[in-house]
Amino acid sequence: MTIYNLGSINYDYFYHLPNLLRAGETLAAHEYRRGMGGKGANMSVAASRGAARVMHIGLVGKDGLWAKNKLLEYGVDTRHIASGSTTGHAVIMIDPFGENSIVIHPGANREITKDQIGSALREASAGDILLMQNETNQQAYTAKLAKELGLKVIYAAAPFEAKSVADILPYIDILVLNEIEAEQLESSSGQNLQSLRLEHIFVTLGSRGCKHFDKLKDKTAHFDAIPVEAVDTTGAGDTFTGYLVAGLDRGLSVEQSVLLATRASAIMVQRHGTSDVIPDLKDIEDEFGPQPT
């Protein structure tokens, strides 16, 4: 099957600081790097490295051809990445413990057209997956169209925005969010997660692992994280989601998919960077051995 990912593509600017900035504070970075990122691009790369077929739907500026070529190099189908105004970018500040603060300018990521989406999804088949995050426009339109075409809709609710999530909740099959986003969703909707009419909900808990609400079987499970020394948590959640979706797309069980995603994100937090350093299946096997079946 194919994963169609309506997702952002960014320049990522990394600044390593002695601490995360406080109001009114000025700091000198002791290290600076630039790479490819955006939650969408990160998830496309992770899903592709998890052995899924991925079609990315997005926009870059004329200065962003390099990012499109990078995605192609990483195995992502880029035929539906078009050209817009300016490539989006993110300023990522990282402290000595690997924690981060991020500022995003969306740029062309918010200029995607309905015609572009329709052209991409015309190639889709029932049973394919639509993956989305909250860094692009046209999400509700795309989710509705995908459901009409028989696709399974998976939504990573980040960055969290109450209206965006509310608009597409009727079309979502699987929801992925972190602990803070889960609290924000419950507060904005007035509902607890268990009451939402979705097939599956995954709540990532950082170093404490992941919680899974299985609405089909009416059960809740907790999966432990793998203890590692984190140097940079940027992109770890995107890596988890991309590998999780890849596993489900390949027909792995929820348990197998979560284990694969957990192992990938454990390697990811030990690396500096985003899309360019997402581990592949060989990295995971070299580190942890073959995945249990």
Longest dimension (CA), the chain: 53
CATH architecture type of domain 2-21+30-288: 3-Layer(aba) Sandwich (3.40)
The percent of residues above 70 in pLDDT, for the chain, comes to: 99
Domain ranges of the chain: 2-21+30-288
Q: 233 and 99 in contact (C-beta within 8 Å)?
A: yes
Structure tokens at 52: 């899924």
Q: CB of 144 within 8 A of CB of 150? A: no
pLDDT tens for 274-292 read 999 999 999 999 999 988 6
pLDDT tens per residue across span 6-38: 999 999 999 999 999 999 999 999 999 999 999
Q: What is the mean pLDDT of residues 195-209?
A: 95
pTM of the model: 0.93
Which one of the listed residues 77, 173, 238, 280 is annotated catalytic?
238
Asked whether the predicted pLDDT for residue 293 surpasses 90, the reply is: no
Reported as a single tens digit per residue, the pLDDT across 75-84 is: 999 999 999 9
Assess whether 238 carries a catalytic annotation.
Answer: yes
- Answer whether residue 257 shows pLDDT above 80: yes
191, 219, 190, 221: which is closest to 203 by C-alpha?
A: 221
- Whole-angstrom CA distances from 142 to 60, 137, 155, 252, 270 are 19, 9, 11, 26, 35
